[in-house]
């Protein structure tokens, strides 16, 4: 007869002291890398955020000044404007990507050659560097010589000043983000669709459900996990994006397309306000963490409701 303790021991492949030592030796480089690359910078940024340090005044961090850097960032209207813009871009962009990605995945789920080719072509935007993609779109959005307004003109619509108008500049960023990352959503949702047992869909059609009804009532609820994954990843990515905004609008006109990452870039790397930038980064991290936690809770709640 074996005890629970000995059963656990038997289940563990590394039981002896030399084994465990070897395990730690193998793990040590990875642990050190994690500490050096993740924990240390975060801890250092946290310490810096409570000190006074502008690189243009001193090459060394100054005195501890408590929460002053946080208060300064929180009192800056540009920070709140940037937070609002980041949220608008993320919510609108991810929603559009979800709709288009799911639609494309549903349309191209068959294994026919045409579908496979279309899928491969649709994946192309995802492999283009965001800076290059934004550059291409900057030319296309040119109100006079760009192809977007030329296409609109061909159907009798006068295109807007995409990059010179406070509203349309944000729309332009959302369009580029949607164009580039819809294929990612399509890819993930396609994989999730393939894992749905076909018997369920067939059973629904036997019960008289049409294709749309079967998709809505049988497949869509089973894709909730994939949607949660996609929304989490894409929201994070979208909140963190800097290259598209930098290349497309430089945060303009005025501050209208300033995002949180652009704000932090300008604060830290252009103005050399190191400690304020560290405080801003922590605030940004908290905002992102809150959003992610809310998403997980929503996902859990929706699963409970559907189950």
The interface with other proteins within residues 171-190 (CB under 8 A) comprises none
Instruction: Please name which of 120, 168, 124 lies closest in space to residue 146, comparing C-alpha atoms.
Output: 168
Give the pair of three-digit tokens for residue 174: 């959302």
Q: Which is nearer to other proteins, 55 or 236 (CB)?
A: 55
The interface with other proteins within residues 128-167 (CB under 8 A) comprises 142-145, 161-166
Distance in angstroms (rounded) separating the CA atoms of residues 119 and 106 = 11
x/- letters, 19..58, toward other proteins (CB under 8 A): x--x--x---x-------------------------xx--
Residue 22, SS3?
helix
Distance in angstroms (rounded) separating the CA atoms of residues 190 and 103 = 10
Distance in angstroms (rounded) separating the CA atoms of residues 283 and 276 = 11
The interface with other proteins within residues 56-85 (CB under 8 A) comprises 56, 59, 72, 77-78
Candidate ranges 126-134, 204-212, 264-272, 283-291; the one touching other proteins (CB under 8 A): 264-272
Min separation Cβ 29 and other proteins, Å: 8
Q: Does 221 bind other proteins (CB under 8 A)?
A: no
Helix locations, 52-165, DSSP H:
68-74, 77-107, 113-122, 130-140, 147-154
Position among 62, 210, 225, 254 found at the interface with other proteins (CB under 8 A):
254
Computed on alpha carbons and rounded to an integer, the radius of gyration of the chain in Å comes to 25
Question: Applying CB under 8 A, which residues contact other proteins?
Answer: 13-16, 18-19, 22, 25, 29, 55-56, 59, 72, 77-78, 142-145, 161-166, 250-256, 266, 269-273
């Amino acid at each position: 007869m074996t005890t629970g303790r000995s059963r656990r021991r038997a289940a563990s492949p590394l039981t002896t002291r030399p084994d465990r030592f070897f395990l730690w030796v193998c793990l040590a480089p990875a642990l050190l890398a994690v500490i050096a690359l993740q924990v240390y910078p975060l801890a250092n940024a946290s310490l810096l955020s409570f000190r006074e340090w502008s690189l243009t005044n001193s090459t060394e961090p100054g005195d501890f000044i408590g929460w002053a850097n946080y208060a300064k960032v929180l009192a800056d209207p540009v920070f709140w404007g940037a937070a609002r813009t980041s949220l608008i871009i993320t919510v609108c962009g991810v929603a559009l990507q979800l709709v288009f990605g799911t639609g494309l995945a549903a349309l191209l789920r068959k294994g026919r050659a045409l579908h496979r080719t279309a899928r491969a072509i649709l994946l192309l935007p995802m492999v283009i560097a965001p800076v290059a993609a934004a550059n291409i779109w900057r030319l296309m959005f040119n109100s006079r010589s760009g192809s977007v307004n030329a296409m609109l003109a061909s159907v009798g619509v006068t295109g807007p000043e995409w990059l010179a108008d406070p509203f349309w500049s944000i729309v332009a960023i959302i369009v580029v983000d949607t164009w580039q990352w819809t294929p990612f959503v399509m890819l993930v949702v396609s994989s999730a669709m393939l894992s749905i047992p076909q018997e369920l869909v067939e059973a629904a059609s036997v019960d008289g459900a049409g294709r749309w009804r079967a998709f809505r009532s049988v497949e869509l609820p089973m894709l909730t996990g994939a949607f949660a994954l996609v929304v989490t990843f894409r929201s994070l990515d979208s909140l963190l994006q800097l290259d598209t905004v930098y290349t497309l609008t430089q945060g303009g006109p005025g501050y209208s397309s300033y995002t949180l990452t652009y704000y932090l870039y300008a604060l830290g790397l252009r103005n050399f306000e190191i400690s304020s930038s560290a405080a801003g980064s922590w605030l940004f991290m908290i905002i992102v963490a809150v959003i992610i936690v809310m998403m997980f809770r929503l996902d859990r709640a929706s699963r409970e409701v559907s189950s």
